[in-house]
Each structure stands twice: as C-alpha cells, then as structure tokens.
Amino acid sequence: MNDAYRHRRSRSHPSDRTSRPSARGPMVPAVRSASVHPAGRGHRRAAAIGPLRWEVYFIIGVILALALIFFAGGIIASIKARPALEGTGVAGIQQAQAAMPDSPRGASPLDALLGRGSSDGRPASFAVDPEKTDWNYGDNGRKTVYLTIDDGPSENTQAVLDILDRYGCKATFFVVGHNEEYFPLIAEAFKRGHTIGMHTYSHDYAEVYSSPEAYFADLDAISAVVQEQIGFVPCFIRFPGGSSNDVSADYCPGIMTQLADEVQQRGFQYWDWNLSVGDGSEHTAEEILGYGTEPVYGSDDPAATENIVLLCHDSATKGTTVEALPGIIEHYQQLGYSFEALTRDSWVCHHEILN
C-alpha cells in the first residue's frame, strides 16, 4: 500500500516541478499555475483540467449536492415528526402511539420510531391508548361472526389466510411466540386486512399465571413480536385459557380478577368467545364443523345471535381446522352473517371470571 502510494506521488512530481518550481509541497495541482489567466475562474479550470474532466466533475458535484439536500431534508423532517419518547420497550411504544392517535396503522418500526404512519391509509385506532375506554358491550345490530384464530402463526396460517381471502372474510389472529420462522405471517395477515391481537408468548400456564408481573412480562414479549411485524402494539388481547380459566388458580389465586381489570387500565381489551369449534382438543374436521355451527352458548337458535365470537386455532397441529374452515364459513354466510375482524367498536365478549 505504502509502496503504491509513494509510486503515485513520485510520478506526479515532474509535472509539479515544471508548472511550479517553487511549490512548497509536492502535490500542488497544475491548475494553480493558471491562476493568472485573465479569462476568469471558469475558463481557467476548463483550460487547465480539460473539457471532459470538467463535465465529469460538474455531474458529480450536482449529484452530491442533490444527495446532501435530500439527506438534510429527511433529517429535519424526522426531528420535527418525532414524538417525545421517555419510556422504553412497550411503554415507549405506547407513549409514541398516544402521541399520534390519528396516524395510519401499518407503520413500520422505523415509522413508529419517527412518530409517523405508513402510507397504507389504515388508521392507528387499534393502538393501545389507556384513555380510550368506550368499548362496545352492546350489539352492533348486524349478523357478524368474529372469527378469532389462536396459537399461530404456524405452518397452517398461510392456508387459513388463503381460505379467508377466497371467501372474502376478515378475522382476528391472537398470536403466540412459538414459531419464529412464521412471524412474518403476522405482517402478512395484517396486510390482508385482518386484526392482530396478543395471546401469549410462551402459552405456559404455570409461567404466565404465576403472578401478575409474570403475566405482563409475557404480554410484553409477545407485544414486542407483534410490534416488530406491524409497527405498533394493538389493544386486543386473549387470555390463555380465556378469562374464565380456573387453571390459573393452581398458580395464583385471584389473578384473573386482577388481570381483567388491570389490562383495561393499561389500554388493552380482552376478548373471550361465545362459541368454540372445539379444536382445542383432538377432533376430526367433521366434528369441528359440527361444533363450529352449533348455537352459541346460552342459546337454542343457531341464527338468533347477532354477534358470534368464534374460537378456533391455527397452530401446527390443527390441520383439521383448516379442513373444516370452508364449511364453517359457508354455513354462516348462508345464514346472512359477515365475517369481520375485531375493531375497537366491535362487540366485546367477556366470560364470567372464576378465579
């Protein structure tokens, strides 16, 4: 390296000497010898460097100037758009979202960091906002199935997404942290217009329900996964086992009563279900179709209920659910139901809390 450098320097020496014998340094460019030219600077450079090199320098200069203007403009815009972030992790994200309630949802992590929405035009109204508590415990007045799909993403999620597209259905995915390689399907589901909610990172009852602190640590972990995929932490939660689970009593008596209240104070809302396809246990696709088309809990008439929150699963072992899904969708569409993703305005379904 040094040798090559020296070689280049020594080669430039003779021309320096000819043009400027009294130069203090060896690298004085030849152009300085033309500084006495009467025709002015522009002509002087052109004459000294030659027309071709002058053009090349001019083009490079213009490109560099444009790049500088673009870069500086971007930085100024970012600084102006950035909300004040004091918290870190999920708290920081929530703070950022509270500062930008009207920005579009679907923002990338960079967008979220810079406090701006993405360009897909969907509002960020799903974002956690502890101030917003006007949930809909009433009826929306139209026959709706809120299909809720737990425990994915997995190898079955892509097939579920394609079935939903084929029938023009929207659904809600309550996701877990089991299969990192399928996490991009969270973003894909969101892109296709479905709602993403948090189920649990570990789905280990003994761990998640060992204490309220453990529950929120698990919620933070799955929130971070979702945030990375869709750009913000949504307000939708499904408790492992539902809010009516009594398995949690084995680990922490009274925890569900406490959590049901506390998640809402933090700006989340939890959804239970009023009908299950029964795929939490081993069942054939036919049995799943049967369970999924029964009357909702507490009713005798399959068509009497305006709002059905239907529980099913898209975890890796639930190939039978994928098989049964088209039949379930056709059944409800024939009865005049539409399949919608949960929103902040959707009917909220809560179970009776048993622990």
Stretch that binds Zn ion, among 24-32, 79-87, 145-153, 285-293 (CB under 5 A): 145-153
Question: Cβ closer to Zn ion: 111 or 151?
Answer: 151
Stretch that binds Zn ion, among 14-22, 143-151, 251-259, 331-339 (CB under 5 A): 143-151
Q: How far apart are the first and last CA of the chain?
A: 74
Stretch that binds Zn ion, among 144-152, 219-227, 251-259, 333-341 (CB under 5 A): 144-152
Q: How far is the CB of 150 from Zn ion (least distance, A)?
A: 4
- Is 150 near Zn ion (CB under 5 A)? yes
Q: How far is the CB of 180 from Zn ion (least distance, A)?
A: 17
Stretch that binds Zn ion, among 142-150, 180-188, 228-236, 320-328 (CB under 5 A): 142-150
Q: How far is the CB of 276 from Zn ion (least distance, A)?
A: 11
Question: Cβ closer to Zn ion: 95 or 210?
Answer: 210
Question: Cβ closer to Zn ion: 151 or 340?
Answer: 151
Query: Which string of x and - marks every residue 272-291 that binds Zn ion (by CB under 5 A)?
Result: --------------------
Question: Cβ closer to Zn ion: 151 or 155?
Answer: 151
Question: Cβ closer to Zn ion: 16 or 151?
Answer: 151
Question: Cβ closer to Zn ion: 150 or 314?
Answer: 150
Query: Which string of x and - marks every residue 295-334 that binds Zn ion (by CB under 5 A)?
Result: ----------------------------------------
Q: How far is the CB of 314 from Zn ion (least distance, A)?
A: 11
Q: How far is the CB of 240 from Zn ion (least distance, A)?
A: 5
Q: How far is the CB of 347 from Zn ion (least distance, A)?
A: 21
Distance CA 54, CA 50 (A): 6
Q: How far is the CB of 95 from Zn ion (least distance, A)?
A: 29
Binding-site size for Zn ion (CB under 5 A) equals 2
What distance separates the 2 farthest-apart alpha carbons in the chain? 107
Question: Cβ closer to Zn ion: 280 or 295?
Answer: 280
- Whether the CB-CB separation of 288 and 280 falls below 8 Å is answered with no
Q: How far is the CB of 242 from Zn ion (least distance, A)?
A: 9
- Whether the CB-CB separation of 200 and 221 falls below 8 Å is answered with no
List the beta bridge partners of residue 251: none
Question: Cβ closer to Zn ion: 194 or 318?
Answer: 318
**Nearest of 104, 186, 193, 203 to residue 151 by alpha carbon:** 203
Helix pair 184-191, 212-230: axis angle to 10 deg: 70
Q: Tell which phi-psi region holds residue 254, choosing left (phi > 0), alpha (psi between -120 and 50) or beta.
A: left
Q: How far is the CB of 312 from Zn ion (least distance, A)?
A: 11
Question: Cβ closer to Zn ion: 157 or 305?
Answer: 157
Residues near Zn ion (CB under 5 A): 150-151
